[in-house]
Amino acid sequence: MKKSLLTLTLSAAFAVSAHAQSSVTLYGLIDTGIVYTNNQTGHSAWQMATSSTQNTVFGLKGSEDLGAGLHTIFKLEQGFLLNNGAQAFSGSAFGSQAWVGLQSDPYGTLTFGRQFDVMNDAVGPLTAGFNTWGGSIAAHPFDNDNLAANSVVVNNSVKYASPVYRGVTFETMYSFSNKAGNFANNRSYGFGLSYAQGPLNLAAGYLQLNNAGNGSGAVTTADTSANFIAERQRIWSLGGNYTFGAATVGLVWSHTQIDNVAGVFSFGTGSYLGANDSTAGTLAGSLRLDNYEVNAKYAFTPALSVSGAYTFTHGAYNGSSPGWNTAMLQTDYALSKRTDFYVEGVYQNVHGAPADSVLSHAMLNTLSPSSTGTQVAVIAGLRHQF
């Protein structure tokens, strides 16, 4: 009996030792609040909302040390709606992220699966729409440049990220259509370059989507990842920020070209607005958008901060010149390292768009469209990370 017990104890000790260099972590983020909107489809609204600023998710991530600076890494993540428990990506077990890869300390990281695009990785963190101090609702109109908080997830992707060299990181990605005999139909590719040294951060990126939303492929409508249904969408972006003391200020520019656009995804309604849409007008032809954002954040104390951002978006659409003004102001108080409370107001006005087009309706991200060219929303929310 004593010999059997000793054998069992030693076996357990060896098993723990064998797995000592591996780790699996359960993690998540919950964002919920009460939202007042002055106009959604012609009516004011009080609503309980989730993911107004950050995606509400839970997931598993892990790594295994293979030796010589090489690691196996993975992440499986699902988004969900806190107010009713539904999946954010309907029908997907891990719709938010699902990837596996190899990480080499001297050579960089190579990952495979469903991932966020590289431009979002590089330039996104410089925008208000990406960060907790602004969030998804403060993103550029229709999130036309994919810079909001991880809103577009790309299937069938191979991504490479270099190690940091003197503050510089390079990323590139190719996402397959996975269609036999139709290699270029619904594929995506791009790159991102970032520099971080002391108080200065700079980044630039390019992303191209071919036939996004066209059935299965890199970016689909079934999982709500496609922002636009179009023949081609090309995005260039450039940004930077600088921190001095308790303040951080930033500037971001992006240019989006959308060819043969047929519709745009409405974050709040879960449907596409476009051709033959009687409630919001039509959308067809060529669309060009330039976004100019200035943002700032100031920490009064380690717990209390205030932030703001303003974006002017200049458009060109079938001979018209629509323009959007989007402004955000937030105050945030951290109750602990993992829990914070925030109050945020966001305003959007659009002018110059054809009256019969989707573009003539203000539409803050995560909300249904306004019946007019103006929309205002105020949120009181609570976030918790685990």
Residue 357 has pLDDT above 60, yes or no: yes
Structure-block tokens of residue 175: 């996402």
* DSSP letter assigned to residue 368: P
Q: Is residue 15 part of a domain?
A: no
What CA–CA distance (Å, rounded) separates 364 from 141? 7
What is the model's pLDDT at position 1?
A: 44
What is the model's pLDDT at position 280?
A: 63
Residue 10 banded pLDDT, cuts 50, 70, 90 = very low
The amino acid at 325: N
Please, are residues 128 and 330 in contact by the beta-carbon 8 Å criterion?
no
What is the model's pLDDT at position 39?
A: 95
Residue 220 banded pLDDT, cuts 50, 70, 90 = confident
Higher pLDDT, residue 187 or 215? 187
Place of tokens 């602990």: 336
Residue 327 has pLDDT above 50, yes or no: yes
- Kindly state the helix (H) or strand (E) to which residue 335 belongs, with its residue range: none
Residue 267 banded pLDDT, cuts 50, 70, 90 = low
What average pLDDT does range 170-197 have in this prediction? 93
Structure-block tokens of residue 78: 């699902």
Q: What is the mean pLDDT of the chain?
A: 89
* CATH code, domain with 229: 2.40.160.10
Residue 7 has pLDDT above 50, yes or no: no
Q: C-alpha angle 316/328/331, rounded to 5°?
A: 165
Q: Is residue 18 part of a domain?
A: no
What is the model's pLDDT at position 283?
A: 86
Q: Is residue 64 part of a domain?
A: no
The three-class DSSP label of residue 95 is coil
Burial of 110 (0-12, 13-18, 19+ CB in 10 A): middle
Q: C-alpha angle 310/311/312, rounded to 5°?
A: 125
Buried b / exposed e along 169-182 (16+ C-beta atoms within 10 A): bbbbbbbbbebeee
Residue 8 has pLDDT above 50, yes or no: no
Q: Is residue 303 part of a domain?
A: yes
Structure-block tokens of residue 253: 């520019």
pTM over 0.85: yes
List, in sequence order, the alpha helices (H) in 297-382: none
Q: Is residue 145 part of a domain?
A: yes
What average pLDDT does range 252-262 have in this prediction? 95
Residue 5 banded pLDDT, cuts 50, 70, 90 = very low
Torsion of CA 230, 266, 207, 58, to 10 degrees: -140
The three-class DSSP label of residue 18 is helix
What CA–CA distance (Å, rounded) separates 276 from 364? 22
Higher pLDDT, residue 178 or 27? 27
Residues 6+ apart with CB under 8 A from 182: none
Residue 14 has pLDDT above 50, yes or no: no
Structure-block tokens of residue 229: 């249904």
What is the model's pLDDT at position 274?
A: 61
Residue 386 has pLDDT above 50, yes or no: yes
Domain count, the chain: 1
What is the model's pLDDT at position 266?
A: 63
Residue 221 banded pLDDT, cuts 50, 70, 90 = confident
By residue range, what is the domain housing residue 139? 32-57+97-385
The amino acid at 61: K
What average pLDDT does range 96-103 have in this prediction? 96
The Cβ of residue 295 has, within 10 Å, a number of other Cβ atoms equal to 25
What is the model's pLDDT at position 179?
A: 86
Q: Is residue 233 part of a domain?
A: yes
What average pLDDT does range 152-166 have in this prediction? 94
